[in-house]
Amino acid sequence: MSDKNNLKNIKFNYKIWLSTEEGDGIMGDGKWQILKTIKEYGSLMAATEALGITYRRTWGDLKEIEKQLGFPLLEKSRGGKERGGTKLSPEGEKMVKAFDDFHQKVDLFMDKAFQKFRDDFLSEE
């Protein structure tokens, strides 16, 4: 027989991602975090270092996302260590803001739904 009290210690997790009609992933929580970190650091290199991911793969992934979406997410400027960098394009800023807002709403809904699930399961019949 199982102890239903163990369910009190279980944490609910989920991921959100956008995909094409064919099911190919476009952007999800990971790429959203990358974009937010680029915005924070003003540099793709600094963002990848902070997140512990590879620059080359991340750059390629972001370029593929831009291709799928049909608009740029990033604006890259050259100019050496002092003036170069990467920032979000206006569309990239809008995407991050929209994903932030969407995630916040979904997080609230999912948390309430999980609490209801747990309460239903733990209630005595």
More confident residue, 50 or 12: 50
Over residues 77-124, the pLDDT tens digits come to 876 556 678 899 999 999 999 999 999 999 999 999 999 988 888 786
10 Å Cβ neighbour count for 89?
15
Name the maximum alpha-carbon separation found in the chain. 68
**Number of domains present in the structure of the chain:** 1
Structure token digits, residue 122? 């733990």
Report the pLDDT value the prediction gives residue 1, as an integer from 0 to 100. Answer: 45
Q: Is residue 92 included in any domain, yes or no?
A: yes
Q: Is residue 34 included in any domain, yes or no?
A: yes
Q: Does the reported pTM lie above 0.85? A: no
Over residues 8-49, the pLDDT tens digits come to 777 889 999 999 899 988 999 999 999 999 999 999 999 999
Report the pLDDT value the prediction gives residue 125, as an integer from 0 to 100. Answer: 55
What's the CATH number where 94 sits?
1.10.10.10
Report the pLDDT value the prediction gives residue 97, as an integer from 0 to 100. Answer: 96
Q: Confidence band (pLDDT; 50, 70, 90) for 2?
A: low
- Can you give the residue range of the structural domain that contains 107? 22-120
Over residues 13-22, the pLDDT tens digits come to 999 999 989 9
Rounded Cα distance between 73 and 89, Å, is 5
CA dihedral sign, ordered 17, 76, 38, 40? negative
Q: Is residue 3 included in any domain, yes or no?
A: no
pLDDT beyond 90 at 6: no
Rounded Cα distance between 121 and 76, Å, is 51
Burial classification of residue 95, based on how many CB atoms lie within 10 Å of its CB (0-12 exposed, 13-18 middle, 19 or more buried): buried
Between helix 90-122 and helix 29-41 the angle, nearest 10°, is 130
* CA distance readout (Å), 110 to 30, 70, 104, 116, 117: 19, 31, 10, 10, 10
Q: Is residue 66 included in any domain, yes or no?
A: yes
